[in-house]
A and B are shown apart, each in its own frame.
Chain A
Amino acid sequence: MNCYLGVDIGSMSTKGVIIDENNKIIALSYIWTEGNPVEAVKKLINILKNQLDKKYIVKGVGTTGSARKLIGLLLNANVVKNEIMAHAIGTLSIYPDAKTILEIGGQDSKIILLNNGIITDYAMNTLCAAGTGSFLSSQAKRLNINIEDFGPLALKSNNPVKIAARCTVFAESDLIHKAQVGYKKEDIVAGLCRSIVLNYLNNVGKGKKINSPIIFQGGVSKNIGVLKYFKEILGTDVIVDSNSHLMGALGIAILSKKNSSDKVYDLNIENIEFKTKAIECKGCSNNCEILRIYKDNRLIDNWGNRCDKYIKNC
């Protein structure tokens, strides 16, 4: 039987799913990227392979997320697409009538507006990482709270403090100040969750018509504190799927299914030697940083050049 692999390599976590012909997830995994996408993907593929029944053969591979291009080369992917498309397709496969997707990931946040299964508008954060997953986890560390306990703790508070969350640096100093003057931890945590929602709606969601059904996804959607304030401030229900963190991977798997051919993909990639080498081109004063990609010691691609100089060499 045929199956299709989708990998979403984000800044914080790497997600992978394998689906069958009916878009049903038959294997899934979620691990930390830890700054090394190649190693993370090798680990991820290994986990997925062990979950997979022997009767399946992989007929398509898709990659998305910030390391999509690099991992696309590693896996010989037949589809390499940005996160917005992948998230929309993944969500639509489960909620065909979805109108709004709120997504907050490790380092970016986005809003996608849909109408009749078509993306009609989208926006991504432009200012900085304030209000994204990595900010939350660094603040949890500062307050000495497990990131998993963050949401439940926030729910305990009846009086969330106001935190200036426009920018990570200011939010952090405001947070420290509030702690030093004696606010309770749960009120601070709740305030942080609330400020993330406000910041998101004022920045990414500015001027966008948020219509129901609203789907909330990405790593931060697992935080029930943030979810509570989304519901409260939008004044309507917000759906979080049990696989809300896997939507990107699911979407790209579906896209690779649509683009698949007779080609069969091998998931034994542990022994592939995948290396990158960064050089600075001295050809002109642009000093482009060229990244050369080697697979099994063979140069397969060059990135980062503004002119044609390095295209010819490979």
Chain B
Amino acid sequence: MANYYIPAKYLFSNILNVDIMIAPFITSKTIELGSKYSPDFVCTPFKYTLGSMIEALDNGANILLQFGGGCRYGYYSELQEKILKDLGYKFELYNLINAGKADVKRIYKTIKKIDKKFNVFKGLYYLFIAINMVKYMDKIDDYIRQNIGFEVKKGSFDKLLKEMLEKFETVKNPFSLYVLYKKYFKKFKQIKINKPNNYLKVGVIGELYTLMEPFSNYYLEKELASFNIEIKRFTNVDYLLFNNKKVHKKALKNSKKYMKYKMGADASSNVYWTKYLCEHKYDGIIHIKSSFCTPEIGVMPIIDKIASDYDIPIIYFSFDANTSEIGIKTRLEAFYDMIEMRKKR
């Protein structure tokens, strides 16, 4: 998923005595393979991850890691294991988070199974570094999303990000990571941008995987940046791992008017974020999800109500393996024209 393979690889290659392979980058072939062997009406992330697993197995992997929880995602690992075994692949699949719960004891036992020599202290040490890496990456990404639409020299943000991530892969301790992060944040701030006074701001919310894997949302954020728009996205791994519960709690308290009970997966968070975007006078909201994502379908009427109460335009996209790219572009372009027209009023 996006660049998060870097901290994941960093963590596992440092604590486990096994060869870590990176699944090939997601391409059309990945989703083709995934769709071929998936149930037709399953959510799209299932197809992407299954496709990636097949590509990894074809490249010689024999241990796969999957997580699970929240929504239908909780069934991914068992179903994918069954499908892949039926296809004749020989491998072991470990689900580190079962039924949405991260049971420390079970995770320890699972890792011990993969590598008998696993050392807890070493594990915790590198886990600490990897967690910080994710946090720093998310902070940098946040800054990039705010400014990449206004860069003077095209591609300067992407280039620097690539350089930073390469450096991140080689850090030895938490301190050197921190120094690197500070150094690069400074460099990012030095990149020349040309931000006018009344620039457009758009919030992107919705289903987690589709938001975070650019290939699966047809590079939506890149497209938005090309219109010179500042982008706000709340969903990232930092949210997923550490702030999830906090946001849910806040959501129930803050959005009482619109929602009485907690909804599945990230639906409640999206209600909260919609309200946040409306209150902070964003020019538009884009809600994206994979087709058939039940929690997000459930939350759409609520979001609609909030957006109409605050009179903020909102647009919905559902992505699956057969989405027409031209159709998305036309709708996005029209959305941009509309919010620009409203802004000028």
Which residues of A approach B to under 8 Å, CB–CB? 66, 81-85, 116, 118-122, 124, 126, 207, 284-288, 306
In the complex, which residues of chain A have a beta carbon less than 8 angstroms from the beta carbon of B219? 306
- Cα A82 to Cα B311 with chains together (Å): 23
B93 interface residue (CB < 8 Å to A): no
Assess the B342–A84 pair: CB atoms within 8 A: no
Q: Which residue of B lies closest to A288 (CB)?
A: B28
Assess the B334–A82 pair: CB atoms within 8 A: yes
- Cα A81 to Cα B330 with chains together (Å): 9
B318 interface residue (CB < 8 Å to A): yes
Interface of chain A: mostly helix, strand, loop or mixed: loop
Assess the B330–A286 pair: CB atoms within 8 A: no
Assess the B338–A285 pair: CB atoms within 8 A: no
Q: Nearest-CB distance from B284 to chain A (Å)?
A: 11
- Cα A286 to Cα B27 with chains together (Å): 5
In the complex, which residues of chain A have a beta carbon less than 8 angstroms from the beta carbon of B330? 66, 82-83, 124
Given contacts A82-B337, A120-B313, A126-B318, contact A286 B29 (CB under 8 A): yes
Partner pick for A82 among B313, B333, B345, CB 8 A cutoff? B333
B304 interface residue (CB < 8 Å to A): yes
- Cα A60 to Cα B330 with chains together (Å): 23
Interface of chain B: mostly helix, strand, loop or mixed: helix
Given contacts A285-B24, A285-B28, contact A118 B334 (CB under 8 A): no
In the complex, which residues of chain B have a beta carbon less than 8 angstroms from the beta carbon of A84? 334, 337-338
B331 interface residue (CB < 8 Å to A): yes
Given contacts A285-B27, A287-B28, contact A121 B331 (CB under 8 A): no
B87 interface residue (CB < 8 Å to A): no
- Which 4 A-B pairs rank lowest in CB-CB distance, beginning with the nearest? A285-B29, A84-B334, A286-B27, A285-B27
Assess the A286–B337 pair: CB atoms within 8 A: no
In the complex, which residues of chain B have a beta carbon less than 8 angstroms from the beta carbon of A119? 337-338, 341-342
Give B182-225 as 1s and 0s: 1 = Cβ < 8 Å from A's Cβ atoms.
00000000000000000000000000000000000001000000
Partner pick for A122 among B27, B301, B338, B345, CB 8 A cutoff? B338
In the complex, which residues of chain A have a beta carbon less than 8 angstroms from the beta carbon of B331? 124
Q: Nearest-CB distance from B92 to chain A (Å)?
A: 26
Given contacts A118-B345, A126-B318, contact A284 B338 (CB under 8 A): no
Which residues of B approach A to under 8 Å, CB–CB? 24, 27-30, 219, 301, 304, 311, 313, 318, 326-327, 330-331, 333-334, 337-338, 341-342, 345
- Cα A118 to Cα B313 with chains together (Å): 13
Assess the A118–B341 pair: CB atoms within 8 A: yes
* Cross-chain pairs A/B with CB under 8 angstroms, 14 sampled: A81-B337, A82-B337, A84-B334, A84-B337, A84-B338, A85-B334, A85-B337, A119-B337, A119-B338, A120-B311, A120-B313, A124-B331, A285-B29, A285-B30
Q: Which residue of B lies closest to A124 (CB)?
A: B331
In the complex, which residues of chain A have a beta carbon less than 8 angstroms from the beta carbon of B341? 118-119
Assess the B313–A121 pair: CB atoms within 8 A: yes
Q: Which residue of A lies closest to B218 (CB)?
A: A306
In the complex, which residues of chain A have a beta carbon less than 8 angstroms from the beta carbon of B327? 124
In the complex, which residues of chain B have a beta carbon less than 8 angstroms from the beta carbon of A126? 318
- Cα A84 to Cα B331 with chains together (Å): 9
Assess the B342–A120 pair: CB atoms within 8 A: yes
In the complex, which residues of chain A have a beta carbon less than 8 angstroms from the beta carbon of B27? 284-287
Q: Which residue of A lies closest to B307 (CB)?
A: A121
- Cα A83 to Cα B330 with chains together (Å): 8
In the complex, which residues of chain A have a beta carbon less than 8 angstroms from the beta carbon of B24? 285
Assess the B334–A122 pair: CB atoms within 8 A: yes
- Cα A124 to Cα B301 with chains together (Å): 17
In the complex, which residues of chain B have a beta carbon less than 8 angstroms from the beta carbon of A121? 313, 338
Most A CB contacts (10 A, CB to CB) among B219, B301, B304, B333 go to B333
- Cα A133 to Cα B92 with chains together (Å): 53
Q: Which residue of B lies closest to A84 (CB)?
A: B334
- Cα A207 to Cα B304 with chains together (Å): 8
In the complex, which residues of chain B have a beta carbon less than 8 angstroms from the beta carbon of A285? 24, 27-30
Q: Nearest-CB distance from B166 to chain A (Å)?
A: 19
Q: Nearest-CB distance from B316 to chain A (Å)?
A: 8
Q: Which residue of B lies closest to A289 (CB)?
A: B28
Q: Which residue of B lies closest to A68 (CB)?
A: B330
- Cα A84 to Cα B24 with chains together (Å): 39
In the complex, which residues of chain A have a beta carbon less than 8 angstroms from the beta carbon of B333? 81-82
Q: A83-B334, A120-B338, A207-B304 are in contact. List 15 more A-B contacts (CB 8 A).
A: A66-B326, A66-B330, A82-B334, A84-B334, A84-B337, A85-B334, A118-B345, A120-B342, A121-B313, A121-B338, A124-B330, A124-B331, A285-B24, A285-B29, A286-B28
Q: Nearest-CB distance from A108 to chain B (Å)?
A: 8
Q: Nearest-CB distance from A14 to chain B (Å)?
A: 17
